[in-house]
A and B are shown apart, each in its own frame.
Chain A
């Protein structure tokens, strides 16, 4: 069965960096576009970033553009999110999600999420 397992979350100071990982199994990872989505109690769900199957196309939400970098390693069935210059408003649960077919905005499987807390 499809499994997505995020890791790398934690407590970081404002201005700091963190790298999230997502280990995928149960499907052909290299065929699927992948995304990161975050959720905060106050603002609900927010799409963060998307990467095509071969990494040729990436998109970012305006709120993270220039600070976050999405990447993937198809040989390792892994998705990553490098987060730099972190701000308090980046505090959220970060989900790794599989994109349905070649869609950009349909997420048919999600991981359990990893909590990122940005605080001094």
Chain B
């Protein structure tokens, strides 16, 4: 099972909105509404930001939103803040034989 494809880096200025894409195939992202997103600051463990494509866990800012179209899922961060600077990973269910696959990761830089 190949990793989902994410852009290596995305940048934006404070207050702007950015979108991170996560491209899979019809065997994973395209077939299931089971995409989640994780934020990871350097030296720390990942944190769940979005699950089931667009649901936010309690405590996660509503500046983070998720969507999906076809084989591509997206994470949008609006009102970009300095603390949003981190690595972001998507993850999708890929069927009972492969189970789960993560994305390649995207480094978000706040200019």
Contact = CB atoms under 8 A, between A and B. Distances in A.
Asked if chains A and B come from one complex, the reply is: yes
Interface of A: 43-47, 50, 59, 61-62, 95, 100, 103-108, 110-113
Contact of B99 (A45, A105, A107): A105
A59 B99 contact: yes
B111 interface: no
Nearest to A45: B102
B48 A45 contact: no
A44 B104 contact: yes
B contact residues, range: 20 to 34
Contacts of B105: 44-45
Interface in B76-108: 89, 91-93, 98-105
Interface of B: 1, 3, 34, 36, 38, 44-48, 51-52, 57, 89, 91-93, 98-105
A100 B34 contact: no
